[in-house]
Amino acid sequence: MAIDEALMTYADPVVGGRKTFPFIVAAVVGVGIGAYATLANSGIYLMEKYNVSPVDGSVIASVFVGSTNLAPVVGGVISDTCLSCFAVISVACAACFLGMLLFTLTAIFPSLRPPSCTYSPCQGPTTWQFAILSMALALMTVGLGGTRFTGAAMGAAQFGDENDRDTFFSWYLVAMYISSIIGIVGIVYIQANLGWVLGFGVCAVIAAVGFVIFLLGNRYYRHPKPQENPLVDIFRQILSRAGKRKAASESSERLLCCSKVDDGAVEPQTTIECPRYQEEATTREVKQEDELTILLRLVPLITTGIILSFYLGLQMSASFLQALVMDLHLTPRLTIPIGSISIFLILSATLSIPLLNYLLYPLHRFLTGQHPTPLARIGFGFLITTFAMVYGALTERKRLHDLQTDAQPISVLWLVPCFMLVGFGEALHFPGQLAFFYQEFPESFKGSGMAVSALQSGVGSYATSAGIGMIRRFLDGWIADNANESRLDKVYWLMAGVGAVNFGCFVACARLYMRKKGGKS
């Protein structure tokens, strides 16, 4: 898949620029293929090979999913405070390879898992067997946490122009989606039909190859100079604002000038402060305050992203409930697994990104003379997602109506347009969020800025679980175990309402943010 050379340029012909893209993406794809396949199939592996009950398997899989959503935040903070992006990605790639190797070993050696069981009660894994499995999952989490968004931060640092970075983010996400498709479809098929050993082994080889390719590109990378620990400065500023360290800061920052007396001894002039050191301290304090102010102003916009993730997770849960009672036949002989229906969302996002970059965005630039801003793309993504919820409500109303007149369930393909709209919206707001947070976060927080999207997804997924519990408790009959006994159409209308309010809040917050910044919203 070619990248537009006219857009992907960089001033330095030796380091940075377009040539770094395949090396950085190799690491992300190498980790992503195995990690996404493991995410999709971990519950099945636990039930088949570790005699774990479906409920316990779902709990472990949910913890794994939640950890992989929050792990990039840790990776971003480490890349900002302790290690460079290159070091974090290298450690993450090595961890992913070791994790896939452990999974392969558990599939090869029967002693690393409980004995096979056909009839219950079955023997569960021993403590050390479960410890090895947990270590493999933890290493996979480290792999995703250290590559998914840290790779985006490192790649963005290779480009000096904002439009170049926007193009990079778009193609970077295409690579992520492709690795997800390969993992969910290709690797899962190998594991299900050709065996777990081959499936995990292929993932380990792919992770190793991606790691090697990433290391080979080191001489082409642009390595930003390390910054001072930004968290310490921000924490100091928070304490200073609260008044808890006012006296300490005044005494520590007041550096005194000295003078000599006749006997040669040095005597401090306790009433006179050195202007040069006072100016440096003041400059540092102003910089810390500016960074803290920027982060605080971004909180409302980040919150709207969390709300988006919340009702998107609710939509995904409702879709799975609907699919359980719908006709899964794509053709008379071909059916789609329920766990794979989200592939339409990924395909839609993957195809929409090139459509936007090479048709709709250039058309917008031709008509208006300006490239769409990240905030504008995020806003349109929110709006498209709200329309998807409206379509979902209308589809569910039709399904319930047909259920009363026809015993034959409607086709699962009725859900595809909703997934396609959500995917198109994601192609707008996801790259827009990456570009916006990289652009707006302070220089010393670029890695953490890239991980904000992961933070939104992680918090949103936990909020989805809490939201489902509250709906089941307070809105009787809206969500039941059987979709035919539920009122999922009302759930979709609820999500559409939340989406509309969230869109309005986003527009207001975006305008306020740009007004305070002094730019156009």
Topology of domain 291-521, CATH = Growth Hormone; Chain: A; (1.20.1250)
Sign, Cα dihedral of 100, 104, 107, 110: negative
Nearest to 360 by CA among 417, 453, 430, 427: 427
pLDDT on residue 377? 94
Segment among 160-174, 188-202, 228-242, 398-412 with least mean pLDDT: 228-242
Q: Which residues contact 362 (CB under 8 A, 6 or more apart)?
A: none
Residue 322: both structure tokens together? 């609907």
Q: Where are the domains of the chain?
A: 1-226, 230-287, 291-521
Please tell me the least confidently modeled range out of 267-271, 444-448, 510-514: 267-271
Long-range contacts of 320-323 (CB under 8 A, 24+ apart): 321/479, 321/483, 321/486, 321/488, 322/396, 322/399, 322/412, 322/415, 322/483, 322/488, 323/412, 323/415
Query: Average pLDDT, whole number, for the chain?
Result: 81
Residue-level pLDDT at 10? 43
Note the pLDDT tens digit of each residue in 34-84.
888 887 777 778 878 888 776 566 567 667 776 777 788 888 778 777 778
Query: What CATH number does the domain located at 1-226 have?
Result: 1.20.1250.20
Q: Residue 236's pLDDT is what?
A: 58
> Hey, what's the torsion of the CAs at 332, 420, 73, 46, to 10 degrees?
-10
Among 343, 327, 320, 492, smallest CA distance to 412 is for: 327
For residue 280, give every residue at least 6 positions away whose Cβ sits within 8 Å of its Cβ, in sequence order, or none.
none
Greatest alpha-carbon pair distance for the chain in Å reads 108
Same fold, 1-226 and 291-521: yes
- φ, ψ dihedrals at 273, nearest 5°: -95, 145
pLDDT score of 211 more than 90: yes
Mind listing the pLDDT tens digit for each residue in 229-242? 555 555 555 666 55
